Amino acid sequence: MRTQVGIIGAGPAGLLLSHLLHLQGIDSVVLESRSREQIESTIRAGVLEQGTVDLLTETGVGERMKAEGALHHGFELAFEGKRRRLDLTGLTGKSITVYAQHEVIKDLVAARIAAQGALHFEVSDVSLHDVESSKPGIRYRHQGEARELHCDFIIGCDGAQGVSRNAIPEALRRDYQRVYPFAWFGILVEAPPTSDELIYARHERGFALVSTRSHDVQRMYFQCDPEDSVDHWSDDRIWAEMHARVDSDEGHKVIEGKIFRKNIIGMRSFVSTTMQHGRLFLAGDAAHIVPPTGAKGLNLAVSDVRVLSEALRGFYKNDRIDLLDRYSETALKRIWRAEHFSYWMTRMMHRLDDASPFEQQLQVAELEYVTTSRSAAMSMAENYVGTAPV
């Protein structure tokens, strides 16, 4: 098989890149190890920046997001028994949309199928070849047959456990990582919204987050030990913990409901540089991971493929190679800004076992500052809604 761009991974990065290239008249083939049902049913939260919402809308895949997503103009910070609202729209003129990642994936899959795009699910034994040449290839098995895809470029969007990153020689790569000594215990709840907007809570017992999924389904998290097990947590124990961390002295309380899903999410910050080698380019989680506190993961993937699609358009339409040559440099500017913001929010909001009482009070002081100083609130809001596209 022959195509212009071979894409490994049908997550948000791979699917959106294929969609953007299609709109520019550039052919691509997407290879995915999981089934369509698996990628469309793996539930992950999704806070979409204004720029992400605009891009999905402008490229024709935002209709369902507009109808079903929850538009938020701010969020609340809960600490020391009180809640204070950060007015995102008032501070920046922008908003966010809460729309789950797997719903974005459903929309992108539907768009690629409607355009008769080449999507191959349940592939195995994927390997990359000749990435330093002008004719790289991807070998894989699909429907019991060994196959090879010849292309001009390979784009690795296959996440942290995929094969793409390791196809860049270790001598050329430098990986940066921070593994956090805590995790998030996540629950899905059949209940009406506790709040019209997200609530980020800092408590001496640990962090908690309340997010709306729909008018009758809510997503909530609380900080836990990464070695913990969902089997250790009864519903009564979960609700006691959520009330302790989120309920306010002013009488605001978490609304309980039937818990129908529980999971534990590990947390780390990770960046791999370089994001390119020869005709191989990385995008999304294949190159970087952020803790979910800053809501940047999906948005960074969108930012990567926005840059990459423009660079590929420059190559095919104008014989330009300079944009591709600068891809890593360009993408990493926003990546490191998002990494810093996510790390800062994580450090400010979570219980840190190695923090002294003095450092714990510094967390409170910082929350007081960002909720009372317009300039500090502006900085937090600008980063949360997303910095300008690179």
Residue ranges, the chain, pLDDT below 70: 389-390
Note the pLDDT of residue 390: 57
Question: Is 234 inside any structural domain?
Answer: yes
292 part of the active site: yes
Shared domain for 280 and 251, answered yes or no, is no
| Assigned domain for 88 exists | no
Based on the fold, state whether residues 262 and 273 are members of the same structural domain.
Answer: no
Residue type, 162: G
Task: Name the catalytic one among 99, 140, 200, 327.
Answer: 200
Q: Which residue segment(s) compose the domain that 233 sits in?
A: 181-267+351-385
State how many domains the chain has: 2
Are 284 and 337 in the same domain? yes
9 and 31 in a single domain? The answer is yes
Q: 19, 288, 292, 350: which is the annotated catalytic residue?
A: 292
Could you tell me if residue 79 is inside a domain?
no
Active-site pick, 99, 140, 221, 384: 384
- Does residue 384 have an active-site annotation? yes
How much is the pLDDT for 215?
84
Is 277 one of the annotated active-site residues of the chain? no
Active site residue 357: no
| Domain containing residue 214: CATH number | 3.30.9.10
pTM: 0.94
Relative to beta strand 217-224, strand 145-150 is unpaired
Indicate the burial class of 23 (C-beta count within 10 angstroms; 0-12, 13-18, 19 or more): middle
User: Does residue 19 sit in the same domain as residue 143?
Assistant: yes
Residues 194 and 280 both lie in one domain: no
147 is a domain residue:
yes
CA–CA separation, 236 and 231 (whole Å): 13
Q: Assess if residue 84 is contained within a domain.
A: no
Residue with tokens 């000594």: 181
**Which amino acid is located at 128 in the chain?**
L
Whether residue 327 contacts residue 275, with contact meaning beta carbons closer than 8 Å, is answered with yes
- Quick count: other Cβ atoms within 10 Å of Cβ 166? 13
User: Around 32, how many Cα atoms within 13 Å sit in the side-chain half-sphere?
Assistant: 22
Q: What is the pLDDT of residues 127-185, one digit of tens each?
A: 999 999 999 999 999 999 999 999 999 999 999 999 999 999 999 999 999 999 999 99
Residues 217 and 311 in one domain: no
Catalytic choice (72, 94, 106, 203): 72
343: CB partners within 8 A, 6+ apart: 178, 269, 291
Residue 86 lies in a domain: no
CATH code for the domain in which residue 125 is found: 3.50.50.60
Tell me whether residue 82 is in a domain: no
pLDDT at 213: 78
Answer yes or no: do 246 and 136 share one domain.
Answer: no
**pLDDT value for 41:** 86
Catalytic residue among 19, 94, 106, 296: 296
248 plus 378 within the same structural domain = yes
Question: Is 81 a member of any domain?
Answer: no
Strands 47-48 and 82-87: unpaired
Residue 197 shares a structural domain with residue 328: no
CA atoms of 202 and 306, how far apart (whole Å): 34
Same domain, 99 and 50: yes
Is 72 catalytic? The answer is yes
- Provide φ and ψ at 305, rounded to 5°: -75, -25
Regarding whether 24 and 127 lie in a shared domain, the answer is yes
Beta carbons of 185 and 222 less than 8 angstroms apart: yes
Residues 6+ apart with CB under 8 A from 6: 28, 29, 31, 136, 137, 138, 149, 151, 153, 154, 155
At residue 44, the pLDDT reads 78
